[in-house]
Structure 1
Amino acid sequence: MNKPSNEIRFDDGAAYEQMMGRWSALVGERFLDWIAVPAGARWADVGCGNGAFTQQLTQRGAPAEVWAFDPSPGQLSYARTRLPADAPPVHWAEGDAMKLPLADASCDAAVMALVLFFVPQPAVGVAEMVRVVRPGGIVAAYHWDILNGGFPLAAIGAEALKIGLQPPQPPSVEASTIEASTKLWTDAGLRDVQTTQFTVERRFESFDEYWNVAITGSAMRALFGSLPAEDVALLKSRVRERVKADDGPLTLSARANAIRGVRA
């Protein structure tokens, strides 16, 4: 069996929207209500990707303005197309989560939506969010509970392991647990640190719709790589059995960990 590359690359905003963008949005609306940042705030959206969460932020958070950063030009290109002309101002720019191009204390809130586990040094990323937020401002994030089976594609990953494939994981996947996130936030000097979990469900018209959407995503492209067609077919068959899919609609769940804190 050929071993595929395990590098996860985000370079296609439309493909990301079909798979992860829609999952992220299910969590994002509840996350925004939970962190409860007042209207009229200045936000830093760190690792904005294709703008799925940024769009929700402009619709639900009533921000004064948003600085949205991502390292992928392809993701940003898609993100720039998704907001209406009358949306609050969003400043899209390429940026590194560990070196944000923002002045100290220039924002009221800084967030990472499905990003922390991709930051090579999560503590540095959290410290940067703290730096750009004013005293009393909010630093928050949500990320899939990957190590405890909360990832939307956990069923595929579990069956892949059974046939000798190692599912790709973000470089800092250990940061995705509640315990690790709490330590990062408290070590960064944030106060009133709170955590919660969000379980969300997504409906697909059929198993094939779910599968076809899944295999276009970055994680599955990295997993499948150059796999022979017969190995892909075997994996698909085992996943179908695992999720107990018949010929009708399919509803699957995912779980995200969320954390918020206040800059002292």
Structure 2
Amino acid sequence: MSEQKIRFDDGAAYEQMMGIWSGLAGKTFLDWLAPPKALRWIDVGCGNGAFTELLVENCAPSEVQGIDPSEGQLAYARTRPGARLAEFRLGDAMALPFPADRFDAAIMALVLVFVPEPAKAVAEMLRVVRPGGIVAAYMWDMPGGGFPLEPLLIEMRAMEITAPRPPQREASRMEAMLDLWNGAGLENVETREITVHRTFADFDDWWMTGMKSPSLGPTIAALSPQDHAALKSRVRARLPAASDGRITYAARANAIKGSRS
């Protein structure tokens, strides 16, 4: 597969393709963190605010700062009624625009594999939290087949169709995440798997949602009509439907948390 950069610029398309998945996994993630109320949070790589809104609604924070490199995503985030408490600004995960000890918790939701140097991002999250503060993340287990669009990826590989992939895909492995958190000097490091299920009205609903992926959608749109039809048929056969046509599919993420000494 190509190492071409994947850009997330369409907040509305991201919401349909991944925002719902993010919310499903994010709720379990926050339940696992079980943070106290009134914390100051930074959501690193907040995207269109799907997880930020969940954070505001479930954790009663005193402050939330959302950082992302895409103004298109941030524009969508600012429209979320449930995220009104949050402030959103352009920023780089590897050079956060805040002083040291600024927050009580730093979170990265479904972002780690898209950061060119994940260790720098973890070091920056550690830098901006106070002593005793939380540094945590969750990411689809891409090498382990946990990505929500894995059925599509399997059939694309079988047909030798290449598409851009995240630059640090291996960073989503649990062992790699542990290395990052332990290497940064975080304490009380814990991990868990998060498995969530999403139901689609039918195969066409699943397919059209997948086509909103900024990496896979354009690649598939550029296929010949014959290859497009063949790919769609192969994926349909891989996804069993219920008697009413609905498709329920599972995705799996790896989660990690630690505290600053």
Confirm or deny a common fold (TM above 0.5). Answer: yes
What amino acid is aligned across from residue 246 of structure 2 in structure 1?
Answer: P
Tell me the residue number matched to 2:195.
199
CA separation in 2, counterparts of 1:223 and 1:196? 33
Tell me the residue number matched to 2:125.
129
Tell me the residue number matched to 1:55.
53
- CA deviation after TM superposition for structure 1 residue 222, in Å: 4.5
Q: Give structure 1 stretches of 5+ with no counterpart.
A: none
CA separation in 2, counterparts of 1:5 and 1:138? 32
Match of 1:112 among 105, 108, 112: 108
SS of the aligned residue for 2:206 comes to helix
Query: Percent of aligned pairs with the same residue?
Result: 54
User: Which structure 2 residues correspond to residues 102-181 of structure 1 after superposition, within 5 A?
Assistant: 102-181=98-177
SS of the aligned residue for 1:39 comes to coil
CA separation in 2, counterparts of 1:29 and 1:220? 26
CA separation in 2, counterparts of 1:18 and 1:63? 26
CA separation in 1, counterparts of 2:128 and 2:47? 20
Tell me the matched-pair count: 260
Match of 1:231 among 200, 212, 227: 227
Tell me the residue number matched to 1:210.
206
- CA deviation after TM superposition for structure 1 residue 168, in Å: 3.0
- CA deviation after TM superposition for structure 1 residue 154, in Å: 0.3
CA offsets, 1:8-37, max 9 Å, x none? Answer: 210100000001010010000010111122
CA offsets, 1:119-172, max 9 Å, x none? Answer: 100000000000000000000000000000000000000000111113432101
Match of 2:251 among 219, 244, 254: 254
Judged with a 3 Å threshold, the aligned counterparts in structure 2 of structure 1 residues 222 and 171 are, in CA distance, closer, same or farther, namely farther
Q: CA RMSD in A?
A: 1.6
Contact 2:39 2:61 in 1 (8 A): yes
Tell me the residue number matched to 2:35.
37
The TM-score, its normalising length taken from structure 2, stands at 0.96
CA separation in 1, counterparts of 2:4 and 2:251? 22
